[in-house]
Amino acid sequence: MKDKDPTDLFVVPSTVLGGAEKILRLLVLESISSGRRAVVIFLSGADASCWSESSKYEEVCVGAWTTKIGLALLPFIILRRGSVFARVFTSHVHVTSEICLLRRLGVLRVNFHIARESTVVGDRFFGLRRWEFSLLYRVYSGMELLICQTDYMKRRLVEFAPQLKPLNIHVLPNPIDFECVSSAAQEEVELECGLEGDYIASVGRLIPEKGFDVLIRAFAQIRSGKMSLVIVGDGVCRERLEKLVVEKGLDGRVHLVGFLANPYPILQGACLGVVSSRKEGFPNTLLEMMALCPRVVSTRCAGGIDALPGIEVCDADAVAELATAMERALTYDMNSRVPLMRGEILNRSPGDYFRTLEELCVNKLT
């Protein structure tokens, strides 16, 4: 890994900064800070301003309408550059499988391919989508390192795709940049709903997997007085959730505030942060809540949730259990769980994560 001009390549499906993209963005920053050049290829989307803190990287926006179109154009982008990369980082199955194929065909010349699984495919997808992923996993080969976020994710991966068992698969918990998140939380955010008094906060795309319908139903059951519920995010379920709010008589108390580039001030001001997801690879939002909120509740939407210190945990897709967990968490003293949660967060630094990736790659060679 002592290249004359070491360059790391990061291939990202979209300029949208989702959970998996946040991890790749942290790795870009660590790559740059270690003295390497970083090239980031965005397969779709045109506005990468949310990656602005990584301004020292070289940006290549394919600008395709969809990620799949971007993947079709990727070989031509790589051939046009004609570069040899020290490492390539991927975090999405479609992208990882194509990188494996391009290396096999000699289109992409790279010393190390470090891939990361972003979800538990065997739990999340069914029908044609499940069949599609099973085909994509058949292309997985030749990568020097494959990272799973939890032991559960690794176990389910090799159950779903047994042919991957010989690969160099390691479990490495997600990192979080505590200093960056804490700093961003100090910024001011103005909301049209004008938050007053105590509130519960949740963040995520408004899609079925995030379980916001369960959260709204649970909120309707708890004895919360004048407390409100703030949900940050946008997505296909917005209209359905708005109807549910009215149906439950919570109009004016539940606020769907839409997408915010910086949701951290909302989390820091909340008396409780809640992750209500049905299925996740591992929710990065949970780590952000543990860094900022005085109390946190999460469903068992991913492996390893029960092992996290200081949080209240309940089963996923269970309204009554979530309501009980929220009420129980609200009784905690403001600072009783904070030291436990912050200690966990400080043990997940991006620098340590990046160095571990490098060590695992070196160990692969020895």
pLDDT tens per residue, range 291-312: 999 999 999 999 999 999 999 9
- Average pLDDT rounded to a whole number, residues 84-108: 96
Task: Give me the helices (H) in the chain, please.
Answer: 19-33, 67-81, 93-105, 121-124, 127-139, 151-160, 178-184, 212-221, 238-247, 264-269, 284-292, 319-330, 338-346, 350-365
State what percent of residues in the chain have pLDDT above 70: 96
Radius of gyration (C-alpha) of the chain in whole angstroms:
21
* CA–centroid distance for 100 within its chain: 22
Question: What is the tens place of the pLDDT at every residue in 170-205?
Answer: 999 999 999 999 999 999 887 766 677 899 999 999
The pLDDT, as a whole number, for residue 54 is 54
Confidence label for 138 from pLDDT (cuts 50, 70 and 90): very high
List the chain domain ranges: 7-175+349-365, 179-346
CATH class of the domain at 179-346 = alpha beta
pTM of the model: 0.92
Instruction: Read off φ and ψ for residue 90, nearest 5 degrees.
Output: -135, 160
The pLDDT, as a whole number, for residue 335 is 78
> Cα–Cα distance between 299 and 320 in angstroms, integer?
12
**Residue 223 above 90 pLDDT?**
no
The pLDDT, as a whole number, for residue 4 is 54
For residue 232, what are the β-bridge partners? Answer: 203, 258
Q: In which element (H, E) is residue 148 found?
A: strand 145-148
Confidence label for 144 from pLDDT (cuts 50, 70 and 90): very high
**Residue 241 above 80 pLDDT?**
yes
**Residue 222 above 50 pLDDT?**
yes
**Residue 314 above 90 pLDDT?**
yes
The pLDDT, as a whole number, for residue 131 is 96
The pLDDT, as a whole number, for residue 5 is 60
**Residue 52 above 70 pLDDT?**
no
The CATH code belonging to domain 7-175+349-365 is: 3.40.50.2000
Strand 7-14 versus strand 272-275 pairing type: unpaired
- Average pLDDT rounded to a whole number, residues 88-112: 96
Question: What is the tens place of the pLDDT at every residue in 328-359?
Answer: 999 998 778 999 999 999 999 999 999 999 99
> Cα–Cα distance between 244 and 58 in angstroms, integer?
45
The pLDDT, as a whole number, for residue 365 is 60
The pLDDT, as a whole number, for residue 3 is 45
The pLDDT, as a whole number, for residue 81 is 85
Confidence label for 327 from pLDDT (cuts 50, 70 and 90): very high
| Cβ–Cβ under 8 Å, residues 213 and 244 | yes
Question: Which residues lie closer than 8 Å to 131 by C-beta, 6 or more apart?
Answer: none
Confidence label for 55 from pLDDT (cuts 50, 70 and 90): low
> Cα–Cα distance between 283 and 329 in angstroms, integer?
19
Fold matches, 7-175+349-365 and 179-346: yes
Better-scored residue on pLDDT, 362 or 316: 316
Residue 340 CA: distances (Å) to CA of 215, 276, 286, 310? 25, 21, 14, 5
**Residue 282 above 90 pLDDT?**
yes
